[in-house]
Amino acid sequence: MPVIETVQLSKRFGNRTVVNSVSLEVQSGEIFGFLGRNGAGKSTFINMLTGIIHPSSGSIRMFDSDTTSEEWKRRIGVLPDYSTFYDSLTAAAHLHYFARVKGVSLTQQECKRLLAAVELEEHASRKAKTFSFGMKKKLGIAQALVGDPELLFLDEPTSGVDVESALHIQELLRSLHRQGKTIFMTSHNLNEVEKICTRIAIMKNGKIGSLGSLDELQSAHQKWRHVSVRHSAFSAHEQATLRAFVETLGRSCVWGDGRFSLQVDDEQKVAALIRALVQARVDIYGVHVEEPSLEKIFLEEENHV
């Protein structure tokens, strides 16, 4: 069941179209990664989904119903892109206040558990104005989790936090995913998105350029795979025969001492290459097929006109 469904969603600020007719479905239980460079329209899109800003045109459906009634707000948790808190409230008081605004109860124990989940339990009674940027980000995640929402919108959840905390947050997101929560997140950390997201969209100039699982993106973006083989020595005659065969399989063949590499456009050709080497009684020490990283896909998408 789609928990988020947008049809031709657009947002214009004056003459500038920031989000341009985006139609998207996010299924229940997904960790959906939303990528794009600064100004691509990611935050504007997430802000429209969460009711922070109004779309110029198009429609949004949440949990299979329209957003005219406010009931869906009880089922979501949001970490906005820019989190500032009330100067006068402590971390714990923020969570209690936001729970009451949402109309849900939050016990002391639940409050402690939420703060512990983001490693802020020792700072529960400290005022948020004394927090560092990273701590505010963590408090932002904790407040998003108030009321045990089914769907989480996280705008750059790990930006500005230290490496250890970022790993902790990634683990928290994985654990929420295991609990069946749907997570819609934006990030500039491609490694993080690659590790935890089940589906990824790359946004460019207000439109979605690429969409799919990492495997699907890799398949779509990499026509030529780089294959390198380490092998035992063979005679000049064997090498000439193999060389002729290998060069029919792919392109950019490079021959070295005990190794060669080439680019192939089909996975079946990797299998054919290995079969040929085995039949020629060449000992294979290693075969490495290089899959494109998300970084490579992202850059390719960004540079694609």
What residues make contact with other proteins under the rule CB under 8 A?
47, 50-54, 70, 73, 76, 78, 80, 82-86, 88, 97-98, 100-103, 143
Q: How far is the CB of 117 from other proteins (least distance, A)?
A: 18
Residues 6+ apart with CB under 8 A from 116: none
User: Which tokens is 222 given?
Assistant: 């990499």
83 vs 90 by CB, closer to other proteins: 83
What does the alpha-carbon distance between residue 83 and residue 90 come to, in Å, rounded to a whole number?
15
C-beta separation of 33 from 9 below 8 A: no
147 vs 292 by CB, closer to other proteins: 147
53 vs 211 by CB, closer to other proteins: 53
Strand 225-231 versus strand 251-256 pairing type: unpaired
Instruction: Specify the 3-state DSSP secondary structure of 212.
Output: strand
Q: How far is the CB of 145 from other proteins (least distance, A)?
A: 13
User: Which tokens is 92 given?
Assistant: 């714990």
104 vs 280 by CB, closer to other proteins: 104
Instruction: Look at residues 30, 13, 11, 16 and name the one whose alpha carbon lies nearest to residue 184.
Output: 30
What does the alpha-carbon distance between residue 45 and residue 54 come to, in Å, rounded to a whole number?
10
Q: How far is the CB of 93 from other proteins (least distance, A)?
A: 10
18 vs 117 by CB, closer to other proteins: 18
Q: How far is the CB of 150 from other proteins (least distance, A)?
A: 14
